[in-house]
Each structure stands twice: as structure tokens, then as C-alpha cells.
Amino acid sequence: VQLQASGGGLVLAGGSLRLSCVASGVTFSSYAMGWFRQTPGKEREFVAAISWTGRSTYYADSVKGRFTISRDNAKNTVYLQMSSLKPEDTAIYYCAVDANRNWAHSETLRYDYWGQGTLVTVSS
């Protein structure tokens, strides 16, 4: 299984970015996908998750109303649209797949496969 995340970069506070994550080696359309983020010295934290159909989503309180997760099963891709970015959103963002469950959830340890991460830097 490989997950390739992209779309990170440097953006001013209040700006937007869209992250993408392409999966291979897994039946992408069958499983839940999640986005997480991590900063140095901190534990990886949940950001957003989406069910196998895309009909159900789940967000961390810190990003609710600003970030939107979506997926295109035909392209084996999950997206994270980030708007109204804040400096505290600066982190390495990781996508992950739970190859045992199809519902959206935030349980980090249940995600089996992870991408390499993409860096998002929000400057003030």
C-alpha cells in the first residue's frame, strides 16, 4: 500500500490550500480515510476523516468550518481543502487509510497505512 500526499506549501494567514493524497495497492473505495497533522515535539493529531462512500465526515473541533475533506473513489484520491488558515495550522500533514473499517473516525492507532507527509506552513 502506498499513499502519496501533495499540495503543501507556504501560505499567508487567511489563505487556502488543497492537499491531495493518492492511494495505490489498496481497495481504496472500501475504506475510511483520514488526515492527521504533526508538529515537532507534539503527538500526531487527528484533523478529518471520511467514510468509504464520502457521505460521512468527521472533523477535529480546531478545523471544523474551515477544512473540508472529500474523496474521489474513481481516482483513488482523498482531498483536504483548507481555508481561513491560521499560523497554528502549520504542521506536516499526513493521510492515512483504515483498511479494516469503512466509517469515519479519529482513532489514530486504527489507521494502518500512512503517507509520507506534506508540509504546510502558514505565516502571519
Confidence band for 116, pLDDT divided at 50, 70 and 90: very high
HSE value, Cβ hemisphere, 13 Å, CA-based, for 69? 30
| Amino acid, single-letter form, for residue 67 | F
Computed over every residue of the chain, the mean pLDDT equals 96
Q: What is the mean pLDDT of residues 36-50?
A: 97
- pLDDT of amino acid 7: 98
| Amino acid, single-letter form, for residue 112 | D
Helix (H) or strand (E) holding 35: strand 32-38
Which percentage of the chain shows pLDDT scores above 90? 98
Helix (H, G, I), strand (E, B) or coil at 28: helix
In tens, the pLDDT along 55-105 reads 999 999 999 999 999 999 999 999 999 999 999 999 999 999 999 999 999
- pLDDT of amino acid 84: 98
- pLDDT of amino acid 69: 98
- pLDDT of amino acid 73: 96
Length of the chain: 124
